Amino acid sequence: MDCCEIDAAISETRSRVDDLHRSEFGAQRCPSCGAQGRTVSRETIVLMVKAELLERAIHGNYSFCSARDCAIVYFEDKGREHFTVDDLRIRVGLKVNDDPIPLCYCFGFDESHIRDEISAMGETTIPERISGLIREGLCGCESRNPAGVCCLGEVNKTANRFRTTSIHND
């Protein structure tokens, strides 16, 4: 075996390890900010990107970048393609700082709904309401949420943040 064959074998092995790592451990790192990405389905990508960009989205495996200050939302694992907040049809709650800040893409709740309910009543029923709708099988988070996962974690985190803020302001 000559050096070229050895280099080719090493390269092929690295490629297989990268593929195994991607499939077992999730997505790659964002090319812009370096944050660990989360693998999302092609269906999610196609539903999120603007119609004129669909042809760019139909190939490859994509990951979601959740870093708030990074403009990239989706990046292709091989690094050839990416989509920013301006390339999407909807606002991504994790990427915006001004209202409305979407939280629940299936049932339309945003941060202001939780903030207003806690301000008015001292508590919020939104996480429980969403949980009930999920139990009824009415959610489509895997495709409707830009992150491709259930929103309830972000909803609960936001509710806890506003509860804490409300307690400290009283």
Same domain, 2 and 65: yes
76: its two tokens: 């292709």
Q: Identify the pLDDT of residue 165.
A: 84
Q: Cα(92)–Cα(68) distance, rounded to whole angstroms?
A: 10
Same domain, 11 and 78: yes
Residues 13 and 56 occupy one common structural domain: yes
164 vs 170, higher pLDDT: 164
Task: Give 125 or 169, the one with higher predicted confidence.
Answer: 125
Please indicate, yes or no, whether residues 19 and 78 belong to a single structural domain of this protein.
yes
Residues 42 and 22 in one domain: yes
pLDDT attached to residue 132: 97
The tens digit of pLDDT for each residue in 49-102 reads 999 999 999 889 999 999 999 999 999 988 789 999 999 999 999 999 999 999
CATH number, domain at 112? Answer: 1.10.10.1100
User: Domain ends where: 89, 112, 145?
Assistant: 89
Percent of the chain with pLDDT over 70: 82
Distance in angstroms (rounded) separating the CA atoms of residues 159 and 25: 29
> Final residue of a domain: which of 36, 59, 89?
89
| Paired tokens of 50 | 């603007």
Q: How far apart are CA 56 and CA 83, in angstroms?
A: 9
Tokens of 71: 């403009």
Predicted pLDDT at 15: 41
Using only the alpha carbons of the chain, give its radius of gyration: 20
Q: Residue 17 pLDDT more than 90? A: no
Q: How many whole angstroms separate alpha carbon 147 and alpha carbon 149?
A: 6
